[in-house]
Structure 1
Amino acid sequence: MPDLSILSKHIAALIPAAGHTGFPQKLVAMLRELVPVDDASIIFYSETALPVVEYFEVQQETGSSTLDTFVKGAFLLDPYYLSATRDGEFGVFRLRDLSPSGFKDSEYYKTWYRNCGYQDECGFVIPTAEQGFINIALGKTAARATFSKRERRLLQDIYPAVEALCQQHWAQARASEDGVNLRAKLHNALESFGSSLLTERETQVINLVLHGHSTKTVADKLSISMETVKLHRKHAYAKLEVSSQAELFYLFLDSLMSAQDYETGDTLVAYMQPPPKAKS
């Protein structure tokens, strides 16, 4: 069946489904018939609330704990998320086009993408009302599988139709209750992480390391030498009492997820305080 016939058939089913529960499943079914994929997920970000997983296919290596970690804070490091929130870029992207040099060595990549078994990923980043957005992730998990040039072009060609359908479906989605901007708080926590113990430059280096930047790209971004980056990272690791990027990643997540009624500042301030002594 030609691609146009497939697209027409599915759009005819998607239009009346917009605004109803079955829409994400129908949307994935269309994309899967147009471009063979092994895995798919749809994540909705309102303007201020934590992400909502609208569709997710659980792979063998990926459990609910990994997904829970993602929605509670790890998403801050995701290249697709950063494309929308930091860069204001929307469209169809491969992961390799958005991620920094060294990203595959980052603990975030190992925790999320490698656990999903992805060999290649292509995703939609679609703006919605009130500065929210949708991330539709399509993954290939077979050994050495990649999205072909034809498949990538097809996804780009249908982007306007997928965008219009998603905007219609999520048009009534609301921000977090009580006007609390939860995502802004998490952004502040990430930017401030380690600042109570580290110098300003060490904090900058650690933030870039968490985002998956290599020593070279950190040096380029901060206009310092690679040796200086290594020295700042060594000093920061010592002060934070970690010995690897993996330990740094989990220290950030642990301090973030254990923060109670967080408002601003470094989450390590409360995290590293000794527990209160029991009353005798």
Structure 2
Amino acid sequence: MPTLNTFSGHLAKLIPATGSANFPAMLVDMLRNLVPVDDASIIVYPNTDLPMVEYFEVHEDSGKSTLDVFIKGAFLLDPYYLAATASQKFGVFRLRELSPTGFKDSEYYKAWYRNCGYQDECGFVIPTSGEGFVNIALGKTATRASFSKRERTLLADVYPTVEALCQQHWKQSDEVDSGINLRAQLNSALQSFGSSLLTERETQVINLVLHGHSTKTVAEKLSISMETVKLHRKHAYAKLEVSSQAELFYLFLDSVMSAKDYEGGDTLVAYMQPPEKRPRSL
């Protein structure tokens, strides 16, 4: 069990390290000293810009390509991202506290969390300034490993300290404003995905499926029967020429990452054009 003396020692080194390149790794070291974890990452969302990876542990069974896909568009479906942006929830949360029923069956979960090997995750969601925030992900990968109640309580207890340190370290990232709200553009693209080919209800169903909702929770959210959800999904898949949630997920990612000079609407409109006719890259 970590002692107050050890924690104070880490903190004494961290405070003067804010603003330095060593800060993210030192922060992870302090948290790892408090609670044993097998994996950690820090992703910073600077105001309205795309996320930046500040700390990431590379393992043999996980590739950089997955992380590239995450920061270019897959993050839109991440429960921690949605907690900060859609729900304005900040603090320490387990993944299961934020994700919808059926999330572990979603293609997003398979492509990201399963690839990381996580059995359980606790994540810090910390506001910085404006629309900026920081997500610190701590994962356990051992079979049947999970965060104990004591460990979760300990992480929650140090949240105010971690929050203050992160806000001090990453305050500069929110002062740079490109004038273009890239995250808002991508959120708009997600909401409009498929709308050029689907009915309004089919678009709603597909959006919830992408977010990892089960047939039951989609039905509850839209106040329709499960059979109606299945029918809408079947029709949407046929119109989009996909046959599974995996194909739907990658169609969405491909269309979003291929979007050029996006000004709104369904990204499939440009995506389905021949490459030579697509607009110039952003």
Q: Tell me the TM-score range normalised by the shorter chain.
A: over 0.9
1:199 is matched with which residue? 199
| TM-score, with length taken from structure 2 | 0.96
**Aligned counterparts of 1:260 and 1:115: Cα–Cα separation in 2:** 29
For this pair of structures, how many residues does the alignment match?
277
1:177 is displaced (CA, Å) by 5.0
Structure 1 counterpart of 2:119, which letter?
Q
Structure 2 counterpart of 1:106, which letter?
S
2:59 is matched with which residue? 59
Alignment of 1:254-265 (within 5 A): 254-265=254-265
Please list every run of at least 4 consecutive aligned residues from structure 1 whose deviation after the TM superposition is greater than 6 angstroms. Answer: none
Gaps in structure 1 of 5+ consecutive residues: none
**Aligned counterparts of 2:62 and 2:139: Cα–Cα separation in 1:** 14
1:5 is displaced (CA, Å) by 1.6
Alignment of 1:91-130 (within 5 A): 91-130=91-130
1:176 is displaced (CA, Å) by 6.0
**Aligned counterparts of 1:226 and 1:220: Cα–Cα separation in 2:** 8
After superposing the two structures, state which structure 1 stretch, 177-186 or 101-110, moved more: 177-186
Structure 1 counterpart of 2:30, which letter?
M
CA contact (8 A) 1:90 1:124 kept: yes
Aligned residues with identical type, % of pairs: 78
CA contact (8 A) 1:40 1:57 kept: yes
CA contact (8 A) 1:48 1:175 kept: no
1:157 is matched with which residue? 157
2:173 is matched with which residue? 173
Structure 2 counterpart of 1:98, which letter?
L
Structure 2 counterpart of 1:96, which letter?
R
Q: Secondary structure at the match of 2:61?
A: coil
CA contact (8 A) 2:95 2:123 kept: yes
2:266 is matched with which residue? 266
Cα-to-partner distance string for 1:236-270 (whole Å, 9 max, x where unaligned): 00000000000000000001111111121100001
Cα-to-partner distance string for 1:156-175 (whole Å, 9 max, x where unaligned): 00000000000010111136
Q: Secondary structure at the match of 1:131?
A: coil
2:231 is matched with which residue? 231
Structure 2 counterpart of 1:225, which letter?
S
Q: Secondary structure at the match of 1:178?
A: coil
Gaps in structure 2 of 5+ consecutive residues: 278-282
1:276 is displaced (CA, Å) by 4.7
Structure 2 counterpart of 1:46, which letter?
P
CA contact (8 A) 1:6 1:34 kept: no
Structure 2 counterpart of 1:130, which letter?
G
Distance change >3 Å, CA 211–CA 246, structure 1 → 2:
same
Q: Secondary structure at the match of 1:138?
A: strand
2:132 is matched with which residue? 132
1:155 is displaced (CA, Å) by 0.2
**Aligned counterparts of 1:110 and 1:184: Cα–Cα separation in 2:** 25
1:131 is displaced (CA, Å) by 2.2
Give RMSD over aligned pairs: 1.2
**Aligned counterparts of 2:179 and 2:86: Cα–Cα separation in 1:** 22
1:79 is matched with which residue? 79
Distance change >3 Å, CA 130–CA 141, structure 1 → 2:
same
Structure 1 counterpart of 2:129, which letter?
A
| TM-score, with length taken from structure 1 | 0.96
**Aligned counterparts of 1:257 and 1:175: Cα–Cα separation in 2:** 26
Cα-to-partner distance string for 1:120-176 (whole Å, 9 max, x where unaligned): 000000000122100000000011100011000000000000000000101111366
2:280 is matched with which residue? none
Distance change >3 Å, CA 263–CA 3, structure 1 → 2:
farther
Cα-to-partner distance string for 1:151-210 (whole Å, 9 max, x where unaligned): 000000000000000001011113665311100000000000000000000000000000
Distance change >3 Å, CA 215–CA 59, structure 1 → 2:
same
After superposing the two structures, state which structure 1 stretch, 54-63 or 151-160, moved more: 54-63
CA contact (8 A) 2:91 2:126 kept: yes
CA contact (8 A) 2:132 2:174 kept: no
After superposing the two structures, state which structure 1 stretch, 58-67 or 247-256, moved more: 58-67
1:187 is matched with which residue? 187
Distance change >3 Å, CA 272–CA 151, structure 1 → 2:
same
Q: Secondary structure at the match of 2:171?
A: coil
**Aligned counterparts of 2:114 and 2:79: Cα–Cα separation in 1:** 15
2:252 is matched with which residue? 252
2:40 is matched with which residue? 40
Alignment of 1:212-227 (within 5 A): 212-227=212-227
Q: Secondary structure at the match of 2:55?
A: strand
